[in-house]
Amino acid sequence: MEIIITTRSWVPIPAESHFSLANIPFGIISTAERTNHRPAVAIGEYALDLETFAAGGGFSEISSIQKDLVVFSQPTLNAFAALGRSVHCEVRKYLQNIFAEDTDYPHILKSNLSSQRDALIRLTKVINHLPMQIGDYTDFYAGRNHAYNVGVLFRGPENALQPNYNHLPVGYHGRASSVVVSGTQIRRPCGQILQDPKAELKIPRFHPSKRLDIELELGAFVCKSNDIGDPIPIEEAEEHLFGFVLMNDWSARDIQAWEYVPLGPFNAKNFGTSISPWIVLADTLEPFRCRGLENKTELLHYLQEGKTNNVYNINLEVDLITSSGATTTITHTNSKNLLFSFPQMIAHHTVTGCPMRVGDLLGSGTISGTEPGTQGSMLEQCSNGKATIKLNNGEERTFLRDGDTVTMRGWSVNSDGARVGFGECVGSILPAHLASNA
């Protein structure tokens, strides 16, 4: 199919919209009138219901997808993702053609008012759901600036990074069952907390976390599996990437401080991970490739990537909104602040023969810059409680309070000025449930 070279759409698209014609992200929606979960794409201020679109003959001009139209009637995107990168690309280009001002197929939607009424839904009337059924979730630690900043806080600058850090994408297995879609409220966790780390006799107490934090990350979904025992070569790893979302891996720093030795974080990370609802396809981000952080360490052969532009130039922002509605942007940074790419993460994850499955989620690790206001966690911004974050209404924060809302945004801008973005990743903090028998 010929690539659409146009930035104009017959669908009105606000200049600041993340969902320009250059994007076409995929998600799962329902509405008050039709409660079944089904696939959709976002365009401007609308969602195109792909189940309704397909049932009405919307894909009649693309022969290759005809035998697989059932994927647009599924409650998740797993079946569509499993069709592979070439199909994702072809379907996206077809939908770009459908939405283009000079579309080759005006009878499908542009001049078909009945189909527009049935299939085009305002985003304000859409309920978003988790886009994928997530079997496994792995969180990496590829944001070297964050790793260094946190290391300095706890070990000093000389020992900030562990000896293995520059050699491999450090990661741990997260909890897939607590990955939630944007807008889901997050309950403040309770757990074992060491009140006085300097005390000779270290006895924890059970308490709600006082150091509830954010972690600004990119998430990537897997679209192609591998058999157990068969590693994914670095040169093939990109074919296993479906697309990307924003991710907030909520963290209870005080629970983590007591529990993480010797096996790493557990309850401090398993209570909630928020993701944005619209998956930006891997092919969509190709124009925004760039170099990541320089790694002067010679990597082992299985991590040596052919592309030097192996990460993406995506602007990232974090807003903190208080319970009174006061909004402060506390972070401006960029996703190019990663030491390892997602293909390298996949190659490392599977080098032992670990099988990946369609729908598996990979987190980049917290993305931070080097300057004040570019850090992707409050832990860094408040120097582990030694400083405060000043808010626009005069309030201060070290960590999150009950009633606070965190909104993450990410977008790139192409050469025509069109935005390719993720929308928002939002979560609000609810008070803790205190267990009476703890």
Give the C-alpha separation, 17 to 1, whole Å: 26
What's the Cα-to-Cα distance from 132 to each of 16, 196, 223, 271, rounded to whole Å?
Answer: 27, 42, 10, 19
Per-residue b/e over 269-282, b at no fewer than 16 CB within 10 Å? bbbbbbbbbbbbbb
Instruction: Give residue for tokens 């990307």.
Output: 244
**Could you confirm whether 146 is annotated as catalytic?**
yes
CA 434 to chain centre: 30
Q: Which residues contact 24 (CB under 8 A, 6 or more apart)?
A: 41, 42, 43, 92, 95, 96, 99, 281, 284
Give the C-alpha separation, 367 to 247, whole Å: 11
Three-class SS state of 107: coil
Partnered with residue 289 across adjacent β-strands are: 312
Give the C-alpha separation, 44 to 243, whole Å: 19
Catalytic residue among 18, 37, 88, 146: 146
* Rounded (to 5) percent helix, strand, coil in the chain: 25, 25, 50
Positions marked active-site: 146
